[in-house]
Amino acid sequence: MFYPCSRWDLPTAENTGVLFQNLHDAQLLMMNQIIVLDHKMLNDLRPVGTGFHAGSIPSDAVLNFNPYATPREVIASGGIVHHRVTGHLLCIKRHGVIDLPKGKLDPGETIASCAKRELQEETGITDLTQGRLLGTTIHGYRRSNYFDVKTTFWYSFTSEANQFTPALSEGIESVFWLPYADTEQTLGYAPLSDFLKDLRSVIKESPKNSQIESLQSF
């Protein structure tokens, strides 16, 4: 959630102001700063026009303070790659953490083409059939004096690749297939694990081609 406010005006349980679900809406108010809040730590969110009020805001829900870091939007795209035969998911190990292939959007690039390019660059796979957009994840992290709010668009893909070329220059140590349930448990980032759990009703691990192909029509 995003809280536009005057400088150093941190939200409290008594004086909350309006919270927004996306950074763009918060930026429209042209305030001195925008506080980024972990929505999972907010209780009793109540709709107010296009925003929300929160019943209480714990101090550790504030993500970009002490020192303050200006939030900025980052757009990325990646792939949920399903093996056509085994039904396993394609994973990477980057800087020692299990992850899914993804990367930032280049200028003038479409989000869909970004997903395929990043997959090819990070894994070396050329055998890729791209399907529909499955959804998005959002997470934030500090970078210098900014707090990057990254929205990643996830597309479905299928492949039968068995040879990979990890992008070592990007910190990718290995590329491999994992069973769906194992991927949920071993991913190093909670937003991705939660996203896969939400996709259970769409992506079902099965060697049957009819179910694998359903990824392309979702």
Smallest CA-to-CA distance from 125 within 187, 183, 83 is with 83
> Which pairing describes strands 51-53 and 2-5: parallel, antiparallel, or unpaired?
unpaired
Report pLDDT for 12. 59
Mean pLDDT of 152-169: 97
Would you say residue 16 has pLDDT above 70? no
Lowest model confidence (mean pLDDT) among 2-11, 136-145, 178-187: 2-11
Report pLDDT for 200. 78
pLDDT tens per residue across span 90-104: 999 999 999 999 999
β partners of residue 147: 71, 142
> Which pairing describes strands 146-159 and 70-83: parallel, antiparallel, or unpaired?
parallel
d(CA 6, CA 113): 39
Q: Are 178 and 91 in contact (CB under 8 A)?
A: yes
pLDDT tens per residue across span 173-195: 999 999 999 999 999 988 899 99
Residue type, 63: L
d(CA 156, CA 105): 17
In order of 36, 194, 196, 214, the CA distances from 181 in angstroms are: 32, 12, 9, 19
Which of the two residues, 40 and 150, has the higher pLDDT score? Answer: 150
pLDDT tens per residue across span 112-122: 999 999 999 99
CB-count burial class (<10 Å; 0-12, 13-18, 19+) for 110:
exposed
Report pLDDT for 50. 85
Mean pLDDT of 192-216: 63
**Mean pLDDT computed over every residue of the chain:** 87
Report pLDDT for 216. 46
pLDDT > 90 in the chain, percent: 61
Report pLDDT for 150. 94
Mean pLDDT of 138-160: 94
Number of residues written out for the chain: 218
Report pLDDT for 53. 84
Which of the two residues, 58 and 168, has the higher pLDDT score? Answer: 168
Question: SS3 sequence, the chain?
Answer: CEEEECCCCCCCCCCCCCEECCHHHHHCCCCCEEEEECHHHCECCEEECCEEECCECCHHHECCCCCCCEEEEEEEEEEEEEECCCCCEEEEEECCEEECCEEECCCCCCHHHHHHHHHHHHHCCCCCEEEEEEEEEEEEEEECCEEEEEEEEEEEEEECCCCCCCCHHHCEEEEEEECHHHHHHHCCCHHHHHHHHHCCCCCCCCCCHHHHHHHHHC
